[in-house]
Amino acid sequence: MNNRNGKWWLAVVAICCLAPAAFADPAKKPVAVPEGGSTAVYLLGAGLTCFGAMFLRFKLAKPAQS
């Protein structure tokens, strides 16, 4: 049952990440926005993503049988 909950949460997060693109209005004139960002923010995001993947892998792994 716990395995199911993890997969549902993963699906919800994926949908939330794609939600801004779904509400984009292509008829609007594009607005210039500043680009870039701190390297530390990108590294933090990548680190959290990797840690999350390792944590899910650890939780979903089947226990070893002796």
Can you spell out the DSSP letters for 47-60? Answer: HHHHHHHHHHHHHH
Alpha carbon distance 46, 35 (integer Å): 18
Q: What is the domain partition of the chain in residue ranges?
A: 36-66
At 3 the pLDDT is: 64
At 58, the amino acid letter reads F
At 33 the pLDDT is: 66
Low-confidence ranges of the chain (pLDDT < 50): 1
Alpha carbon distance 38, 44 (integer Å): 10
Give the global pTM: 0.42
